[in-house]
Structure 1
Amino acid sequence: MIDCVAGAPPMRDAIDAVRAALLEGLDPEQDPPRSVAEVPPGQLLLMPAYWGRYAGVKVASVAPGNPALGLPRIQGGYLLLDGPTLSPLALLDAVALTSVRTAAVSAVAADALAEPDAARLVVFGTGPQAHSHVEALRAVRPVRELVVVARDPGRTKEFVAGYRDLDARVGTAADVAGADLVACCTTARTPLFDGSLLPDHTTVVAVGSHEPDAREVDDVTVRRSIVVVEARAAALREAGDVVLALRSGAIGPDALRTLPDLVRGKADVPAGRPRLFKSVGMAWEDLVVAAKRHETARGDRR
Structure 2
Amino acid sequence: MSGLPYLDAADVARLVPVARAVQLLEDALRAGLDPERTPQRPVVALPAGQLLLMPAAAGRYAGVKAATVAPGNPARGLPRVQGTYLLYDGETLAPLAAMDGSALTSLRTPAVSALAVRHLAAPDAGDLVVFGTGPQAWGHVLALREVRPLRRVTVAGRDPDRTAAFAARCAALGLETTALSALSALTARPSEQARAVAGADLIVCCTTAREPLFDGGLVRDGATVVAIGSHEPDARELDGGLVARATVVVEARSAALAEAGDVLIPMSHGTITTRHLAGNLADLIAGRVTAGAGPRVFKGTGMAWQDLVVAAAAYEAWHEET
TM-score tier (shorter): over 0.9
Query: What is the percent sequence identity of the aligned residues?
Result: 57
CA-based RMSD of the aligned residues comes to 1.0
TM-score after normalising by structure 1: 0.97
CA distance in 2, matches of 1:26, 1:152: 40
1:205 aligns with 2:226: yes
Mapped to 1, the partners of 2:199 and 2:144 lie a distance apart of 17
Pairing partner for 2:290 from 268, 273, 297? 268
1:187 to 191, 198, 208: 208
* Aligned counterparts of 2:68 and 2:83: Cα–Cα separation in 1: 6
Answer yes or no: is the 8 Å Cα contact 1:32–1:48 preserved in 2.
Answer: yes
Match of 1:169 among 174, 178, 186: 178
1:151-209 per-position Cα deviation (integer Å, ceiling 9, x unaligned): 11111001001122100111353111000000000000000010000010100000001
- Aligned ranges for residues 94-173 of structure 1 at < 5 Å? 94-164=101-171, 165-171=174-180, 172-173=192-193
Distance in 2 (CA, whole Å) between partners of 1:293 and 1:42 is: 29
SS in 2 for 1:16: helix
* Cα displacement (A) at 1:67: 0.5
Match of residue 2 from structure 1:
4
Deviation at 1:139, TM superposition (A): 0.5
In structure 2, distance between residues paired with 1:255 and 1:219: 12
Q: Deviations over 1:89-136 (max 9, x none)?
A: 110101110001000000000000000000100000000000000011
> Displacement of 1:2 after TM fit?
2.0
Q: CA deviation at 1:267?
A: 1.6
**Pairwise mapping of residues 1-302 of structure 1 onto structure 2 (< 5 A)?**
1-7=3-9, 8=12, 9-164=16-171, 165-171=174-180, 172-174=192-194, 175-256=196-277, 257-270=279-292, 272-299=293-320
Aligned-partner SS, 1:299 = helix
- CA distance, structure 2, for counterparts of residue 156 and residue 261 of structure 1: 36
The gaps in structure 1 that reach 5 residues or longer are none
What is the deviation of 1:5?
1.4
- Aligned partner of 2:188 in structure 1 is none
Is the CA contact 1:99–1:129 (under 8 Å) kept in the aligned structure 2?
A: yes
| Count of aligned residue pairs for this structure pair | 299
Question: Shift in Å at residue 32 of structure 1?
Answer: 1.0
Partners of 2:280 and 2:193 in 1: how far apart? 28
TM-score w.r.t. structure 2 length? 0.91
SS at match of 2:291: coil
Given that 1:104 and 1:136 are in contact with CA atoms closer than 8 Å, whether structure 2 keeps it comes out as yes
Find the aligned partners of 2:208 and 2:7 in 1 and give their Cα distance: 29
User: In structure 1, what is the Cα distance between the partners aligned to 2:43 and 2:303?
Assistant: 13
Q: What amino acid sits opposite 2:24 in the alignment?
A: A
Distance 1:276 1:198 in 2: 11
Q: Residues 173 and 192 of structure 1 are in contact (CA less than 8 Å); yes or no, is this contact kept in structure 2?
A: no
Distance 2:193 2:84 in 1: 35
Report the 3-state secondary structure (helix = DSSP H, G, I; strand = E; otherwise coil) of the residue aligned with 1:189.
Answer: coil
Unaligned runs of 5+ in 2: 181-191
Give, in whole Å, the separation in 2 of the partners of 1:130 and 1:120: 15
Counterpart code for 2:314: R
2-structure distance, mates of 1:140, 1:245: 30
Counterpart amino acid of residue 106 in structure 1:
S
The SS at the match of 1:298 is helix
